[in-house]
Chain A
Amino acid sequence: MGSIRKTGQAVAFYGISAVSLFLLLFPFFVMLSTSLKQVGEVYSTPPTWIPKVVYWKNYIEIWQQYPIGRYISNSFFIAVTCTILNGLLAVPAAYAVSRLRFAGRKMFMYMFLVVQMFSPVIIIMPLFKLMAVWGLLDTYQSLIITNTVFTLSFSIWMLSSYFNNVPVDIEQAALIDGCSRVQTITKILIPIAAPGIVTTAIYTFISVWNEFMFALTFISRAEMRPLTVGLYNFIRLWTINWHHLMTGAVIGIVPIVILFMIAERNLVKGLAAGAVKS
């Protein structure tokens, strides 16, 4: 009886999983399939599910015709730098919020929420002027600074809740043993809260990697563009090179997917430990 119920359950699980996977991944299938089609087949009716002729050359053409490698390394550099800076700024702040009895957690949460109330589109004009005054247009710095700051309040909020979960006793013991505050942070807090820090870092990385509006506005030189803007420029006035666009999309999405695969377990654990038990 139990085993039948179990089999039934398993069938249901796999069935539902399959349907949701199909719905969620359908566009990616379209992407993959189109990226392997020749121009002629892209515009065939009825459309084909699997390319009649698998045309790998799109992947070569895209490397030859567009500085796609440059776009990727731009995105990567910006995202990594932001993630590191974000960590450096957020960890002490989150520590202060969580330990020094500073009534700031609520404040950071509100700050974070206030930031979310303004779509980048809304504040892009004053930000652009700010960057112009600072002479940072067309630099990585402009994107690094903006993205770091825009992800900061979320990081502080998240991290502080992880830190809250670390028992204060351990830390006090360390303090009594002669550790400085900084040592307690680096030696005790950070290792214990590692999953949370990783989660926050990944979240930051992805937000920055996917950022579009700032990059579109601050960067005008082609060689400085991150991948999102680089690919967006495949939409041209008179035509969209769909096959190349999709090829570029595959190239752009793969690194993130790999990152997810590596970090997925941590991500859920981190979210569980942090956001939930607040």
Chain B
Amino acid sequence: MMKSKWVVLLAALCLVFALAVSASAKTKLRVVWMDYDARFNTVYQTMEQDFEKENPDIDVETIILPWNEGHDRLVTWIAGRQAPDIANTGTRWVLEFNDMGVLEPLDKWLSPEFIKGFYPGALEARIKGKLYGLPVAMSARTLFYRSDLISKPPATWSELVKVAQDVTSKHKIYGIGLSGKKFVELTEFVYYLYGNGGSFFEMEPDGSYGKAKFNDKAGVEALQFMVDLVHKYKVTEPNVTENDRGSLQDLFIAGKLAMVETGPWFAAMLQERAPNLKWGVAPMPHNDGKPQSTLMVTDSIVMFKSSKNKEAAVKYLNFIYRDKYRLEFNKAFGMLPVRASVGAMSYFQTPYYKVYIDQLPRAKGWPLMSEWSKVEDVLWDAVGAALLKIKSPKQALDEAAKEVDAYRKK
């Protein structure tokens, strides 16, 4: 009697395990995409289905991760030796993953003509001459403004203050959004740093990154300006450290913000969620007397060394870069084209896209270093401390620079 109970139990457990090992004969391809999420869409599913139709021997499993979980999931999978075959990542993670030694160089798998089809500026993920990631999404950041409240968008910081003050007093609406809550990227400090001619690190002659530079005059001025927007001019929402970029966009959609600095995906969101709002885009404002600049970001798709199906993976890569799917992707998420043939399409020949494309030559990317996660975290804390007036901008950035330099020396 007692034995029979155990037999049942064991049988149940065996069944549970047996179910796990049922396998199929097809070549399996695990592909991770990030959820760009501008609206509910089926781009990834369409690509999967069309690809499987063309390649009936390959079974694609598309995993869609939300961005704020993406990094941690991928790290877990890599460390657990469960990396997918292909993954969509932030280009700044490519360095980190490459440091872990898990990425496959792509040059030998892809034809030179195919690689030539990308805009050279978009091919950021080249490390020591080897290409480790293909750009999938590119964005330049711009200023979104309410065109019904602002007739001429500001080009410089002093205009920005004036316009923001104007609109704040006239319309009882916050002038410009500023976010101080930790987020996957260090907005908006980077916009003001680049808009003031600053940069994060010294460049060594060999092209590698030297000491921290974000605490120089340009950096301190940038952060001081952010602090002033909040405390001196009082043109931002009052609770800046509560908001991340997402909440700012929500505020703009809700009609509480007159200006917000963000990327092209926001247009797709606005069309869907606030079709009646009147808005326009303008180049990112810069400090008076400094050249205009903005942040350009690419996300990259990488292939993992551990992939057992590299041929199939390469097939998939070639497939998804067909103009048709690229256009569909860009349309769905509002991203900028990364391939010349796509950029030439009539869809992108509009005044709206011109604002972005015109900015690209002066735009700068994130520093590409494997320690960036830590640097970004330290800087977030510095920005937060300054915005909360716990430290002066100079003190906050000096301390951050010290910490970053010490960390990178290790």
A contact residues vs B (CB 8 Å cutoff): 39-40, 43-45, 65, 85, 88-89, 124-125, 128-129, 132, 134-137, 139, 141, 144-145, 180-183, 216-217, 220-222, 233, 235-240
Contacting A at CB under 8 A, from B238-278, are 245-246, 249-251, 253-254, 256, 265-266, 269, 273
Please state if B63 and A139 are interface contacts (CB–CB under 8 Å). no
Partner pick for A222 among B64, B68, B82, CB 8 A cutoff: B64
| Closest chain A CB from B271 CB (angstroms) | 14
Closest to B32 in A: A220
Please give me the residue from chain A that is nearest to B35 by CB atom.
A236
Collect the chain B residues with CB atoms within 8 Å of residue A65's CB.
Answer: 40
Q: For the complex, what is the distance from the CA of A141 to the CA of B1, rounded to whole Å?
A: 27
Which residues of the partner chain B approach A85 to less than 8 Å between Cβ atoms? 12
Would you give 27 A-B contacts (Cβ < 8 Å), ordered by A? Answer: A43-B250, A43-B254, A43-B256, A44-B254, A45-B256, A85-B12, A88-B9, A89-B9, A125-B79, A136-B20, A141-B16, A141-B19, A141-B20, A216-B69, A217-B73, A220-B63, A220-B73, A222-B63, A236-B35, A236-B246, A237-B35, A237-B246, A238-B269, A239-B37, A239-B249, A239-B269, A240-B250
Q: Are A141 and B61 in contact (CB under 8 A)?
A: no
* Contact between B67 and A236, CB atoms less than 8 A apart: yes
B25 at the interface (CB under 8 A from A): no
Report the bound CA distance from A181 to B5 in whole Å: 13
Determine whether the beta carbon of A237 is less than 8 Å from that of B19: no
Are A39 and B273 in contact (CB-based, < 8 A)? yes
Residues of B within 8 A of A44 (CB): 254
| Chain A residues near B82 (CB-CB < 8 A) | 128, 132, 137
Residue B344 CB within 8 A of the other chain:
no
Q: Report how far A17 CA is from B35 CA in the complex, Å.
A: 45
Q: Per-residue 0/1 for B1-27: is the Cβ within 8 Å of any A Cβ (1 yes, 0 no)? A: 110010001001000110111000000
Pairwise interchain contact A125-B20, C-beta atoms closer than 8 A: no
Q: For chain B, which range describes its interface: under 10, 10 to 19, 20 to 34, or 35 or more residues?
A: 35 or more
Give the docked Cα–Cα distance between A220 and B246 (Å): 24
5 A-B pairs with the lowest CB-CB distances in the bound complex, closest first: A43-B254, A237-B67, A182-B2, A128-B80, A236-B37
Contact, CB under 8 Å: A129 / B81: yes
Cα–Cα distance between A65 and B40 once the two chains are bound (Å)? 8
Interface centre among B2, B20, B73 (most CB of A within 10 A): B20
Interface string of B153-178 (1 = CB under 8 A from A): 00000000000000000000000000
Contact B273 A235 (CB under 8 A): no
Residue B184, interface by CB 8 Å: yes
Check A139–B66 contact: CB distance below 8 A: no
Q: In the complex, what residues of A have CB within 8 A of residue B341's CB?
A: none
Interface string of B66-99 (1 = CB under 8 A from A): 1111000100110111100000000000000000
- Are A237 and B66 CB-contacts (below 8 A) given A43-B250, A125-B80, A129-B80? yes
Nearest residue in A to B40 (C-beta to C-beta)?
A65
A145 to B19, CA, bound (A): 14
B129 to chain A, nearest CB (A): 32
Q: Give min CB distance, A222 to chain B, whole Å.
A: 7
Q: How far is the CB of A156 from chain B (nearest CB, A)?
A: 16
With A43-B254, A181-B2 known as contacts, the answer to whether A144 contacts B16 (CB < 8 A) is yes
Residue from A124, A217, A235, A239 whose CB has the most chain B CB atoms within 10 Å = A239
On whether the beta carbons of B2 and A141 are closer than 8 Å, the reply is no
Which B residues are in CB contact (< 8 Å) with A182? 1-2, 5
Chain A residues, CB < 8 A from B250: 43, 239-240
**How far does the alpha carbon of A129 sit from the alpha carbon of B79 in the complex, in Å?**
8
Complex Cα–Cα for A235 and B37 (A) = 10
Cα separation A162 to B334 with both chains bound (whole Å): 62
Nearest chain B CB to A189 CB, angstrom units: 14
Q: Complex: how many Å from CA A117 to CA B397?
A: 38
Q: A45-B256, A144-B16, A238-B246 are in contact. List 10 more A-B contacts (CB 8 A).
A: A40-B254, A43-B251, A124-B76, A129-B79, A134-B20, A135-B21, A220-B63, A233-B66, A237-B246, A239-B273
Contact status of A125 and B63, CB under 8 A, knowing A43-B253, A216-B69, A239-B269:
no
Q: How far is the CA of A33 from the CA of B10 in the complex (A)?
A: 48
* Inter-chain contacts of A88 with B (CB < 8 A): 5, 9
Residues of B within 8 A of A238 (CB): 37-38, 245-246, 249, 265-266, 269
**Docked pose: A40 CA to B68 CA in angstroms:** 25
Residues of chain A contacted by B37 (CB below 8 angstroms):
236-239
- Residues of B within 8 Å of A137, CB to CB, are 82
Collect the chain A residues with CB atoms within 8 Å of residue B12's CB: 85
Task: Report chain A residues within 8 Å CB of B79.
Answer: 125, 128-129
Q: Write the chain A residue with the least CB distance to B253.
A: A43
Q: Find out whether the CB atom of B2 lies under 8 angstroms from the CB atom of A180.
A: yes
Chain B residues with Cβ below 8 Å from A43 are: 250-251, 253-254, 256
A9 nearest CB across to chain B (Å): 44
Q: How far is the CB of B324 from chain A (nearest CB, A)?
A: 25
Bound Cα distance from A181 to B21, whole angstroms: 37
Closest to B262 in A: A238
Distance, CA A103 to CA B80, complexed state (A): 38
Q: How far is the CA of A89 from the CA of B265 in the complex (A)?
A: 52
Chain B residues with CB under 8 Å of A217's CB are 73, 76
Q: How far is the CB of A227 from chain B (nearest CB, A)?
A: 16
Distance between Cα atoms of A236 and B37 in the complex (Å):
7
